[in-house]
A and B are shown apart, each in its own frame.
Chain A
Amino acid sequence: MDTSHLVKMANQIAEFFASGMEREAAIAATTAHLRNFWEPRMRREIIAYAKNGGAELSDVARAAVIALG
């Protein structure tokens, strides 16, 4: 999987939820979205990336991905 592609997708998802919700709710909604729509190998890759710092992930996206793991 192309990690940069996954990062972009995760950031887009987080951006949508963050625009209409408080931070914690947005994190929970992003986590739920990733769990509901992303195949496990995609989740494994983005979790590994987040655990290694996840520099390119937005604040909400990073927190959501960490919550996934």
Chain B
Amino acid sequence: MQSIDDKDLGTPAAKSDQQVTLEIDGREVTVPAGTSIMRAAALADLQIPRLCATESLEPFGSCRLCIVQIEGRNGFPASCTTPVAAGIKVRTRGERIEGLRRNVMELYMSDHPLDPFECKAGGKCELHQMAAAVGLERMRYPSGQNHLDLPVDDTNPYFSFDPARCILCSRCVRACDEVQGTFALTIDGRGFASLMSPGQRQQYADSECVSCGACVQACPTDALMEKTVLERGMAERAVITTCGYCGVGCSFKAELRGDKVVRMVPNRNGLPNHGHSCVKGRFAWGYATHPDRVLKPMIRKRISDPWTEVSWQEAINYAAAEFKRVQNQYGRGAVGGITSSRCTNEEAYLVQKLVRAAFGNNNVDTCARVCHSPTGYGLKTAFGTPAGTQDFDSVNQSDVIVVIGANPTEGHPVFASIMKRRIREGARLIVIDPRAIELVRMPHVAADYHLQLQPGTNVAVLNAMAHVIVTEGLANERFVAERCESAEYAAWKKFIVDARNSPEAVERATGVPAAIIRGAARLYARGPNSAIYYGLGVTEHSQGSTAVLAMANLAMVTGNLGRPGVGVNPLRGQNNVQGANDVGSFPHELTGYRHVSDPKLRAEFEAVWGVKLDPEPGLRIPNMFDAALDGSFRGLYIEGEDVAQSDPNTHHVAAALEAMEIVVVHDIFLNETAKYAHVFLPGSSFLEKNGTFTNAERRISRVRKVMEPLAGYEDWQVTCLLSNALGYPMEYSHPSEIMDEIARLTPTFAGVSYEKLDRLGSVQWPCNDEAPAGTTVMHVGQFVRGKGRMLVTEYVPTDERTSPRYPLLLTTGRILTQYNVGTQTRRTRNVLWHLEDRLEIHPHDAEQRGIRDGDWIELTSRAGSTVLRALVTERVAPGVVYTTFHHPESGANVVTTENSDWATNCPEYKVTAVQVMPTRRIPERPTAEQIIRAAEQQIGK
């Protein structure tokens, strides 16, 4: 069932500049060529009955309810599959048409539960709506053989399928194919035996279904229904907001009954997702009301003491007093703060403002430090601005897609669906990854080249591709001459053509056959539109920034910048990692990525903030921990970040947190970091606040409050309270005022306002007088910095090497159903799919060690060890092991080291030398059912 307030025009919009005029029921209608008669009629407010047609899917012409008559043509064509033509005269009504429609409807209803009051879709059931629309008042057929007693498939944790209510319209099957691209559903059998079937007559839980919800949304009846709707009833209203999970930033409609969320439905008009969703955003929002939420502020003097619940005022006063005491005792620079990429732009802005204005230093950082900070450095250095160059829809014009160090089907599934559709249309695909990710080979998608490189060798591979392009005469010299710094290009060219950068020279280090690199380089260079999409598999390396620069070099040398279909595009991990960076979360930059050392810039902020600012860069997160251990850093305010679980070398982080005298954790759950906290301030989820998120395509979208904050305050209000208690007043009555301040101080945000966001839906920055509606593609005509910089990117092997003691390389990643350190998704039914992190190991390495699939193993590195179960698979190459990091018990970061990117200190999560051996240390862990049952018991269900 689509959203309760969606208007469905029946078929997709046609993409044509040519206009066609026709007549429908005597009314003149003008629409783009290629538009269906059904859509043309709907645009003229003439509703043609339909069942198998919906705007999000290609027309199918199966239900025969949408028949029309066209003057001069025979028969009754389906209006969904018949395009408009100039001058035709269409009749959508008439005795014969309506009689035929009633006959069709009668047949549908003859094998369907008849009582409309029993229909769980309420007034939104299209079948009952259409029965009324065609005037079906009685059934002529006696009861006979039917499908009414077929069992319900209740195996999916979030929705159920009742075949008795299925009308075999194929909307679910087509949604799975066309929108999601998983091809998990089919109509099995023929004639009366036909049944919609996940997989091969399997139940949903046993099929390839990825629970994106597209089938449920497409279903016109109550055959496929969200369990929350079945439990809580139909929604009464919808509020448009933005998903709180990954950096795709899908637009959703939160549907409510009273003040309770009934379901989240992807917004058809949302530009990042166009009405699609993944299992996390669509279904895994129950954490917001999970009984683990801590709703009372708490304090304790020592971390060994038990927590004491206190009033908001007492907690805030205690935190402020402690920060002041620490600063008086150890100096102004002894405290700092961490902003959250899960919170809104306005909240991140206020935390960094608190640090700079109330603490009086620049010791503020954000979780981008441990993910995409090399993107910031690399893209700003090369192009002049640290952000992706395109919008997501740009991929629809790509001829060649490079995916490097990213796993979109797991980490950014909605964008992956768009990308897969483009590949099905014929775009070519290059995957550069140590692991055979799903995109390498899946239904209707196969990579032309998979460069299965050794972890830590991205730069060598990217340089080798550039070497091929330059030495084989594939460089776009005209683009480079016009758009790039000529002296730097000359130096780079001299470097890149050197034989040490040839595919043959790096073959041994990278593990990628030279011919594969050469083929991929030629394909990328010839495009003609080639686009690079990358993730943390690029950035989380000691040469993370170098690799970003190397990708920028590839794009510049081939001229793949400044137009749709091309570009260099980071796939951001968290919902607002781009935005948190934009609004000044880095210790060396104020909003808009401008350095704090600029006196003119500081003067602008000082005039608005009314306080003198520190001109020196502050500590980055890893530096804060180092400084804590040497005693010069003693206090930290952490909003929405779990450094104890997410940062590398857990032992080191824990020791640093233990050494601090005041740690304030501001979060929705008592996370791992809260074990080291002295003050806990309850946070608010994305459903409980107003604000904005900025996604990976620089798109600023509204977050709207759909329920009151459970603990009483939105997060921005808590930061204001703390700042006020510290003696620096922050007075805002609504986050729109905070955005107004950001816009006033930030040239790239100068045109952003809540009024504009409400009017346009969203805007991509830069948004200012030059681009009042925002900027879709960056660097058109010239780079933001003027000329592009092509820097020499020498490959330097990481210090983290294998040895006889640690002979394998560990790399890490995500899985579809869990998100980051799992704080949210572990508190949903998604645990049924991924209860624990497992270690992927190649059969060869497993056999050598006597490890079988499912065995418990001990994973040991130079930093520490942990125990988890093995998953024996050829997805990883021999010598490489892989795990996810969603569960604290798995302790993936217990083993990761402190190696970091040279430019930004981004940790090198993706390369850790390890040993893997069977173990008898079998930890006790609850089952998924036990976790869910415990949560349900807590809420008295």
Residues of A within 8 A of B (CB): 1-2, 5, 8-9, 12-13, 15-16, 19-21, 33, 35-42
Task: Pick the residue among B587, B632, B902 that contacts A13 (CB under 8 A).
Answer: B902
- In the complex, the answer to whether A37 meets B794 with C-beta atoms within 8 Å is no
Identify the closest chain B residue to A14 (Cβ).
B902
- In the complex, the answer to whether B629 meets A20 with C-beta atoms within 8 Å is no
* Binary per-residue interface labels of chain B (533-553) against chain A in the complex, 1 for a CB within 8 Å, 0 otherwise: 000000000100110000000
Top 7 closest pairs, chain A to chain B, by CB: A20-B792, A12-B902, A19-B794, A39-B619, A40-B616, A1-B626, A1-B630
- In the complex, the answer to whether B627 meets A15 with C-beta atoms within 8 Å is no
Whether a CB of chain A sits under 8 angstroms from the CB of B492 is: yes
- In the complex, the answer to whether A20 meets B903 with C-beta atoms within 8 Å is no
- In the complex, the answer to whether A36 meets B791 with C-beta atoms within 8 Å is no
User: Could you say which residues of chain A place their CB within 8 Å of the CB of B794?
Assistant: 15-16, 19-20
Nearest-CB distance from B549 to chain A (Å)? 9
- In the complex, the answer to whether B546 meets A16 with C-beta atoms within 8 Å is yes
Taking A2-B629, A9-B902, A20-B492 as contacts, is the C-beta distance between A39 and B617 under 8 angstroms? Answer: yes
Taking A1-B627, A5-B626, A16-B794 as contacts, is the C-beta distance between A39 and B902 under 8 angstroms? Answer: no
- In the complex, the answer to whether A15 meets B902 with C-beta atoms within 8 Å is yes
A-B contact pairs, 5 of them (CB 8 A): A1-B626, A2-B630, A15-B902, A21-B792, A36-B617
Kindly state the separation between the CA atoms of A64 and B409 in the bound complex, as whole angstroms. 45
- In the complex, the answer to whether B333 meets A41 with C-beta atoms within 8 Å is yes
- In the complex, the answer to whether B905 meets A39 with C-beta atoms within 8 Å is no
- In the complex, the answer to whether B791 meets A13 with C-beta atoms within 8 Å is no
Question: Which of A13, A16, A38, A42 lies at the interface centre, i.e. has the most chain B CB atoms within 10 A of its CB?
Answer: A16
Taking A9-B905, A13-B903 as contacts, is the C-beta distance between A37 and B588 under 8 angstroms? Answer: yes
- In the complex, the answer to whether B491 meets A20 with C-beta atoms within 8 Å is yes
* Binary per-residue interface labels of chain B (495-513) against chain A in the complex, 1 for a CB within 8 Å, 0 otherwise: 1000000000000000000
Given A16-B546, A37-B620, A42-B623: 20 more A-B contacts, CB < 8 Å: A1-B627, A2-B629, A5-B898, A8-B799, A12-B542, A15-B796, A16-B902, A16-B903, A19-B794, A20-B495, A20-B791, A20-B792, A36-B595, A37-B588, A39-B587, A39-B616, A39-B617, A39-B618, A39-B623, A41-B632
Nearest-CB distance from A46 to chain B (Å)? 12
Whether a CB of chain A sits under 8 angstroms from the CB of B883 is: no
User: Could you say which residues of chain B place their CB within 8 Å of the CB of A16?
Assistant: 545-546, 794, 796, 902-903
Question: Which of B492, B793, B898, B903 lies at the interface centre, i.e. has the most chain A CB atoms within 10 A of its CB?
Answer: B903
Nearest-CB distance from A17 to chain B (Å)? 9
User: Could you say which residues of chain A place their CB within 8 Å of the CB of B588?
Assistant: 36-37
Nearest-CB distance from A27 to chain B (Å)? 16
- In the complex, the answer to whether B792 meets A19 with C-beta atoms within 8 Å is yes
Taking A16-B546, A19-B792, A19-B794 as contacts, is the C-beta distance between A2 and B626 under 8 angstroms? Answer: yes
Kindly state the separation between the CA atoms of A2 and B903 in the bound complex, as whole angstroms. 18
Kindly state the separation between the CA atoms of A33 and B715 in the bound complex, as whole angstroms. 34
User: Could you say which residues of chain A place their CB within 8 Å of the CB of B221?
Assistant: none
Identify the closest chain B residue to A42 (Cβ).
B623
Nearest-CB distance from A14 to chain B (Å)? 9
Contact residues of B between 624 and 679, Cβ < 8 Å to A: 626-627, 629-630, 632
Taking A5-B898, A13-B903 as contacts, is the C-beta distance between A39 and B595 under 8 angstroms? Answer: no
User: Could you say which residues of chain B place their CB within 8 Å of the CB of A21?
Assistant: 491, 792
Chief secondary structure at chain B's binding surface: loop
Kindly state the separation between the CA atoms of A40 and B331 in the bound complex, as whole angstroms. 13
Nearest-CB distance from A38 to chain B (Å)? 7
User: Could you say which residues of chain A place their CB within 8 Å of the CB of B623?
Assistant: 1, 39, 42
Identify the closest chain A residue to B799 (Cβ).
A8
* Binary per-residue interface labels of chain B (49-71) against chain A in the complex, 1 for a CB within 8 Å, 0 otherwise: 00000000000000000000000
Contact residues of B between 471 and 523, Cβ < 8 Å to A: 491-492, 495
User: Could you say which residues of chain B place their CB within 8 Å of the CB of A9?
Assistant: 900, 902, 905
Kindly state the separation between the CA atoms of A9 and B907 in the bound complex, as whole angstroms. 12
User: Could you say which residues of chain A place their CB within 8 Å of the CB of B791?
Assistant: 20
Question: Which of B363, B626, B902, B903 lies at the interface centre, i.e. has the most chain A CB atoms within 10 A of its CB?
Answer: B902
Whether a CB of chain A sits under 8 angstroms from the CB of B82 is: no
Task: Pick the residue among A13, A35, A41 that contacts B627 (CB under 8 A).
Answer: A41
Identify the closest chain A residue to B363 (Cβ).
A39
User: Could you say which residues of chain B place their CB within 8 Å of the CB of A35?
Assistant: 597
- In the complex, the answer to whether A37 meets B333 with C-beta atoms within 8 Å is no
Identify the closest chain B residue to A13 (Cβ).
B902
Kindly state the separation between the CA atoms of A20 and B905 in the bound complex, as whole angstroms. 21
Nearest-CB distance from A19 to chain B (Å)? 4
User: Could you say which residues of chain B place their CB within 8 Å of the CB of A15?
Assistant: 794, 796, 902
Question: Which of A1, A9, A20, A35 lies at the interface centre, i.e. has the most chain B CB atoms within 10 A of its CB?
Answer: A20
Nearest-CB distance from A7 to chain B (Å)? 13
Nearest-CB distance from B265 to chain A (Å)? 44
User: Could you say which residues of chain A place their CB within 8 Å of the CB of B495?
Assistant: 19-20
Identify the closest chain B residue to A43 (Cβ).
B616
- In the complex, the answer to whether A38 meets B903 with C-beta atoms within 8 Å is no
User: Could you say which residues of chain B place their CB within 8 Å of the CB of A8?
Assistant: 799
User: Could you say which residues of chain B place their CB within 8 Å of the CB of A1?
Assistant: 623, 626-627, 630, 632
Identify the closest chain B residue to A2 (Cβ).
B626
User: Could you say which residues of chain A place their CB within 8 Å of the CB of B900?
Assistant: 9
* Binary per-residue interface labels of chain B (886-930) against chain A in the complex, 1 for a CB within 8 Å, 0 otherwise: 000000000000101011110000000000000000000000000
Kindly state the separation between the CA atoms of A41 and B904 in the bound complex, as whole angstroms. 17
Contact residues of B between 667 and 724, Cβ < 8 Å to A: none
User: Could you say which residues of chain B place their CB within 8 Å of the CB of A38?
Assistant: 617
Kindly state the separation between the CA atoms of A35 and B799 in the bound complex, as whole angstroms. 25
User: Could you say which residues of chain A place their CB within 8 Å of the CB of B492?
Assistant: 20
User: Could you say which residues of chain A place their CB within 8 Å of the CB of B905?
Assistant: 9
Nearest-CB distance from B624 to chain A (Å)? 9
User: Could you say which residues of chain A place their CB within 8 Å of the CB of B618?
Assistant: 39
Kindly state the separation between the CA atoms of A25 and B903 in the bound complex, as whole angstroms. 17
User: Could you say which residues of chain B place their CB within 8 Å of the CB of A39?
Assistant: 333, 362-363, 587, 616-620, 623
Nearest-CB distance from B893 to chain A (Å)? 18
Kindly state the separation between the CA atoms of A33 and B791 in the bound complex, as whole angstroms. 15
Nearest-CB distance from B447 to chain A (Å)? 31
User: Could you say which residues of chain A place their CB within 8 Å of the CB of B546?
Assistant: 16
Identify the closest chain B residue to A8 (Cβ).
B799
Nearest-CB distance from B556 to chain A (Å)? 15
Nearest-CB distance from B716 to chain A (Å)? 27
Nearest-CB distance from B760 to chain A (Å)? 36
Nearest-CB distance from B227 to chain A (Å)? 50
Kindly state the separation between the CA atoms of A53 and B492 in the bound complex, as whole angstroms. 34
Kindly state the separation between the CA atoms of A18 and B796 in the bound complex, as whole angstroms. 12
Kindly state the separation between the CA atoms of A9 and B492 in the bound complex, as whole angstroms. 24
User: Could you say which residues of chain A place their CB within 8 Å of the CB of B902?
Assistant: 9, 12-13, 15-16
Kindly state the separation between the CA atoms of A46 and B792 in the bound complex, as whole angstroms. 26
Kindly state the separation between the CA atoms of A37 and B545 in the bound complex, as whole angstroms. 14
User: Could you say which residues of chain A place their CB within 8 Å of the CB of B793?
Assistant: 20
Identify the closest chain A residue to B792 (Cβ).
A20
User: Could you say which residues of chain B place their CB within 8 Å of the CB of A19?
Assistant: 495, 792, 794, 796
Identify the closest chain B residue to A34 (Cβ).
B617
Contact residues of B between 598 and 626, Cβ < 8 Å to A: 616-620, 623, 626
Question: Which of B616, B617, B620 lies at the interface centre, i.e. has the most chain A CB atoms within 10 A of its CB?
Answer: B617
Kindly state the separation between the CA atoms of A33 and B902 in the bound complex, as whole angstroms. 10
Contact residues of B between 569 and 616, Cβ < 8 Å to A: 587-588, 595, 597, 616
Nearest-CB distance from B468 to chain A (Å)? 20
